[in-house]
Amino acid sequence: MPVRLWQWHAPRANRWERLCVDGGRLGVQWLDADDAATVVLAAGQARWIAPGLRWRIVQVDPDSRFHLEIHADESSPASAPQPVRAAWLDELPCWHVDDAAALAPVLAALGPGQRGLLRAGASVQPALATALAASAGRLSWHPLASDDDGLVAVLACSQQAIDLRQYLGRDHALIEAVLAGALGGDGEHAQWLRNLLARHLVIEEKMLFPAWLAAGGNPGWERGLRNEHARLREDLLRLDDPSVQRRFLLLLDGHDEKEEQIVYPDLLARIEASAADLRAAVLQLGVVA
Ligand SMILES: [Fe+2]
Ligand SMILES: [Fe+2]
């Protein structure tokens, strides 16, 4: 193993690294905003390392095997599209609700750990918004479509208030699930994909990233993520081209992993006191046109 990997070092600007453990276990340490964090990765696990993030290997077992992928902007090596989290939507129960009165028993029966697909009349929206606000983060939704005829959304209930990392991670999983349907020719899923992705990117660009930067988040990382958003928006319009589709899948997968492993935890650590307010604002946001 190269000696430099035992010492503090960092990927240079615009270069992300992905440490992939192929066998055994590997202890890795990196420098957070104010402390060193350690994680032990098992075979099959991987961790993204952002440009400039100082890290080192601290533990290697005799059977440890790993490799380091280098992802430079615009020139990321394409291995193979990752399997999508496609089953997420298929297993959901579906509720048809005409008005606010019919919504109440659905919400009352929704226990911790449960989720489902709501198809509701447009008049239900204010009652749902009230229920979301009143639950203080235990009830959450992911709006899929909304027009004069009604609303379609995934509803989920958790035992404890969900944090933004969990919520946006679930948003990522849903985007991958509807993407699988859209690529399979499902027109409704294609519409849901456009709506989910538009809302998700607005949440990040207009709400999360400004709060993150104001709290000392890394402007270079943020710029890189915004660039990737622009490429995702562009490629979304041309998914019928196989090479564009492959690029989109690869980019989305890496982008989501980076955010879930690095960006969201860093954001939450920095904005601790105002995280609940930000979550409440995010949860009030409906479909973005
Ligand atoms: Fe993003
Ligand atoms: Fe994201």
Neighbours of ion ligand 1 (CB under 5 A): 204
Q: What is the spatial distance between Cα 180 and Cα 173, in angstroms, rounded to a whole number? A: 11
Neighbours of ion ligand 2 (CB under 5 A): 259
Q: What is the spatial distance between Cα 253 and Cα 48, in angstroms, rounded to a whole number? A: 12
Note the ligand closest to the C-alpha atom of 209. Answer: 1
Domain over 3-72 is classified CATH 2.60.120.10: yes
Residue 35 Cα distances to 53, 55, 162, 275, angstroms: 12, 12, 25, 20
Note the ligand closest to the C-alpha atom of 228. Answer: 1
For the chain, the structural domain boundaries read: 3-72, 87-284
The Å distance, Cα 232 to ligand 2 centre, comes to 11
Buried-exposed string 233-256: b where 16+ CB fall within 10 A, e elsewhere: eebbeebeeeeebebbbbbbbbbb
The more confidently predicted of residues 279 and 52 is 279
Q: What is the spatial distance between Cα 37 and Cα 145, in angstroms, rounded to a whole number? A: 40
For the stretch 118-129, pLDDT in tens is 999 999 999 999
Mean pLDDT across the stretch 78-82? Answer: 44
Q: What is the pLDDT of residue 86?
A: 63
Note the ligand closest to the C-alpha atom of 164. Answer: 2
For the stretch 216-248, pLDDT in tens is 999 999 999 999 999 999 999 999 998 999 889
Q: What is the spatial distance between Cα 78 and Cα 30, in angstroms, rounded to a whole number? A: 26
Q: What is the pLDDT of residue 82?
A: 47
- In this prediction, residue 253 has a pLDDT band, given cuts at 50, 70 and 90, of confident
